[in-house]
């Protein structure tokens, strides 16, 4: 990455679908079921935090942690 590139902090559903290699419909189902981090609503848009340092809230952190089932870990813990 060069110094001129900006990494976004939030991603839309298409970025999340691409990161997980899922369809957009599957991303919605997984988020509703608590299998992936839930999105934040910004106005009328849904956006997911990409990196927060916590697999329960950040998409890339969740993937790097091996996609743990969020229904079994507490929000805010770094297990």
d(CA 38, CA 50) in angstroms, rounded, equals: 11
Phi, psi for 58 (deg, rounded to 5): -105, 130
Q: Cα separations (Å) of 73 from 4, 44, 52, 58, 67?
A: 37, 29, 16, 14, 11
Give yes or no for a contact between 75 and 66, defined as CB atoms under 8 angstroms apart.
no
Model pTM score:
0.79
What digits encode the pLDDT tens for the residues 1-59? 555 676 689 999 999 999 999 999 999 999 999 999 999 999 999 999 999 999 999 99
Q: Residue 74's pLDDT is what? A: 60
Q: pLDDT tens digits, residue range 45-61? A: 999 999 999 999 999 99
The CA distance from 5 to 21, in Å, is 24
Report whether 14 contacts 48 (CB < 8 A): no
């Amino acid at each position: 990455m060069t110094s001129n590139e900006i990494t976004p902090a939030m991603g839309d559903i298409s970025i999340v679908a691409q990161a997980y290699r899922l369809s957009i419909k599957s991303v919605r189902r997984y988020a509703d079921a608590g299998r992936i981090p839930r999105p934040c609503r910004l106005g009328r848009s849904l956006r997911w935090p990409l990196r927060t340092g916590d697999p329960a809230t950040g998409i890339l952190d969740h993937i790097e942690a091996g996609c743990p089932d969020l229904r079994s870990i507490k929000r805010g813990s770094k297990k």
